[in-house]
Amino acid sequence: MAIDGLIILDPAGRPIIQSSYTTYPAAYPLLHIEALNNALAKAPREGSVDPVIYVGELSCSSACCHVEVGGMRFVATISGDADPLIAFAFLDAFTEILQDYFGVVSVATLKDNFDIVYQLLEETLDSSGHPLTTSPNALSDIVLSPSLISKLLASVSPATPGVPSARQGGSFGSNGASGAFTSPIPWRKAGVRHNHNEILFDVVEEMRGIVGKNGTTLVSNVFGKIESNAKLSGTPDLTLTFTNPNVLTECAFHPCVRLQKWIRDNALSFVPPEGRFILADYQYKPPQSALVSNVPIPLSLKANMDMGEFGGTFALTLTSRLIKVMENLELKFYLGEDATSAQCTLSSAGSSVGSVGSADGSWSFNSRTKTLRWEILNMRSSGSWILRGSWTSKIKAPRPAHAFQISFEIPSYSFSSLKVDQLRLSSETYKMYKGVRMRSKGSIEWRW
């Protein structure tokens, strides 16, 4: 298992930052960059390049695993019989760290902060190929974040002694900087103090589904995540219980969760890390679990498609099946490689609120991606939204996609109706602020 190094390429395929590759010949990273750029150039369209590209030019053959992040390519090169999933997991972790440090990951932020990126790279990936510290809690102690605020805070707050003194040019504190590593709990800093203690949970559920031609749901799965943000002093031992824990199936947990407790009592017992982390991943399966267990899709689409020569016409009607308001609904329709233009009109019918304004929706046609986009910012529970239009194509028998891609968000809603019963704090005596928020989103493929 060895990740030899990491290379970050700008959108033009030139390296911005790469790890040192001390044990490899100088041509080694270059060969990988070349192999990747060649593969990308040869690809007929985006998303058709294998995520693992084999590079066999050198005596020690290797592969590069690549992902796209903010227009850039993050490449991890692996040699030997390594696990590509480690590479992807590492790239993912590294991207998250960068996001933590810089907010936005872009060519500009990376170039401006290259010294910090290098330090992070050194701390997270050993030159022998083993990922090291990727826990944000531990990293924040050894590599300082660039934001001025954190620098200021670091120099006043007593929470992290040691490091600030280093910043001020004084001698290193011998105890503080190593706090993360002497802590008995590997994911948590020792000796954290907050004046205001709080922990927030965001339950985010995402539905992914496919609806067939005749309007029946072929597949719909709901994957959920409990995202947490903890600012708690000391070593808080928390127990989170739900009124309906049975809706959580196939869970995966942050290492802080005590599995035995979950299996026995269906309660999440854990000592959280500081800051943001994902407490649990789960899948929601409706209780009437027959062989096919589909979660109902919260909207319906009626599509009247009429294909003609050199184009076609369509009438799409969207109706919400929810009482809640759906937000940022977006419908995408790929009109085929040879599409040239589209013309549409919007209307809505039977809406109880009445007024049909332009604010209700908008449409656009992107002539580069050949995609028609229909957006509805606020979709209320009753009424329906209609998009009528036509498109033109250069060829006689146009071949548009036979599916619409619909995405939406539903604030304060969860498909599983998961309810938090109680959050108990033991081992510490302070009062803490607790908050739970639900949020759902969906991406549905609707075929016609």
Partner 1 sequence: MSIRAPRKGENYELSVDLNSEYRDKRKDAIKRVIASMTVGKDVSGLFPDVLKNMQTDDLEQKKLVYLYLMNYAKTQPELVILAVNTFVKDSEDPNPLVRALAIRTMGCLRAEKIIDYLCDPLQRALRDDNPYVRKTAALCVAKLYDLKPELVIENGFLDQLRDMISDSNPMVVANTVAALTDIHISATSNQPSDSTSDPAVFSITSAILNKLLIALNECSEWGRVAILNALARYDAQDDKESEHICERVVPQFQHVNGSVVLAAMKVIMIHIRNVRRDDLVKQLIRKMAPPLVTLLSSPPEVQWVALRNINLLLQKRSDLLANEMRVFFCKYNDPLYVKIEKLDIMVRLASDSNVDALLSELKEYSSEVDVDFVRKSIKAIGQTAISIESAAERCVNVLLELINTRVSYVVQEAVVVMKDIFRKYPSTYEGVIPTLCANLEELDEPEAKTSLIWIIGEYADKIDNADELLGIFVDSFTEESYQVQLQTLTAVVKLFLKKPDSSQGVVQRVLNTATKDCDSPDVRDRAYIYWRLLSTDPGAAKAVVLAHRPPISIPRTTVSPALLEELLGEISSLASVYHKPAQTFVGHGRVGADSVQRKGLEISDAQKALQTVVAGQQAENLLDFGDDSTQDGQPSGLAATQILPSTPAAANFLSGTSANPLDDLVSIFGGMETMETSAGSLSTALSPTMTSLSSPFEGFGGPPALPSQPRQNAQPEEDLLGLF
Q: Which residues of 396-408 are buried (b: 16+ CB within 10 A; e: fewer)?
A: eebebbebbbbeb
* Tokens of residue 204, six digits: 């985010």
> Would you count residue 70 as binding partner 1 (CB under 8 A)?
no
Q: Does 309 bind partner 1 (CB under 8 A)?
A: no
Please, are residues 352 and 340 in contact by the beta-carbon 8 Å criterion?
A: no
Cα-based distances in Å from 129 to 6, 87, 293: 10, 10, 43
CA 56 – CA 77 distance, rounded (Å): 12
Per CB under 8 A, contacts with partner 1 among 170-189 are: 170-174, 177-178, 180-182, 186-187
Q: Are strands 420-426 and 237-242 parallel, antiparallel or unpaired?
A: antiparallel
Among 57, 265, 306, 337, binds partner 1 (CB under 8 A): 337
Work out whether 60 is an interface residue with partner 1 (CB under 8 A).
yes
Interface pick for partner 1 out of 153, 278, 325, 423 (rule CB under 8 A): 278
Q: What's the CA gap between 406 and 299, in Å, rounded?
A: 10
List binders of partner 1 among 355-394 (CB under 8 A).
Answer: none
Least Å distance, CB 178 to partner 1, is 4
The reply to whether 17 sits near partner 1 by the rule CB under 8 A is yes
For partner 1, the binding residue among 96, 114, 159, 237 (CB under 8 A) is: 114
User: Does 204 interact with partner 1 (rule: CB under 8 A)?
Assistant: no
* 198 scored as a contact of partner 1 (CB under 8 A): no
**CA gap 415, 156 in Å, rounded:** 45
Beta-bridge partners for 284: 222, 248
Question: Total residues at the site for partner 1 (CB under 8 A)?
Answer: 100
Contacts of 265 (CB under 8 A, 6+ apart): 241
What is the nearest approach in angstroms of partner 1 to the Cβ of residue 302? 19
Residues 389-418 that bind partner 1 (CB under 8 A): 399, 401-403, 405
Does 40 bind partner 1 (CB under 8 A)? Our answer is no
**3-class DSSP assignment, residue 163:** helix
202 binds partner 1 per the rule CB under 8 A: no
The CA distance from 432 to 207, in Å, is 32
R_g (Cα) of the chain, nearest Å: 26
Kindly write out the interface string for residues 81-110 of this chain, putting x where it contacts partner 1 by CB under 8 A and - elsewhere: xxxxxx-xxx-x------------------
Quick one: 51 or 71, whose CB is closer to partner 1? 51
Q: Is 288 in the site for partner 1 (CB under 8 A)?
A: no
